[in-house]
Amino acid sequence: MGNSRIEKVRQNLVDAGCNTKTITDFFALGETESLDQQLTLLRRHRRTLLEMLHKQQREIDCLDYLIVELKEKSAEK
């Protein structure tokens, strides 16, 4: 990989929320041509992000429920 390409990939990993260890591991696996392991690493990070997203969605749902409840209580007065 050329330096420009490496920096683009590195920036993409940073933008995807990868920490320094994940980025280092990704490039180390690339040096050993372990494409399958690189894909596994990226899929693991994706799964983590998705779990975080679902957790935050549940939190938003809880807040939405409370907002609706308070609005209904306020309308009863």
Residues 6+ apart with CB under 8 A from 49: 16, 17
Q: Would you give per-residue pLDDT tens digits along the chain (77 residues)? A: 678 999 999 999 999 999 999 999 999 999 888 999 999 999 999 999 999 999 999 999 999 999 999 999 998 87
Query: In total, how many domains does the chain have?
Result: 1
The Cα 65–Cα 62 span in angstroms is: 5
Q: What is the pTM of this model?
A: 0.82
Range of the domain at 33: 3-76
Q: C-alpha angle 29/32/34, rounded to 5°? A: 60
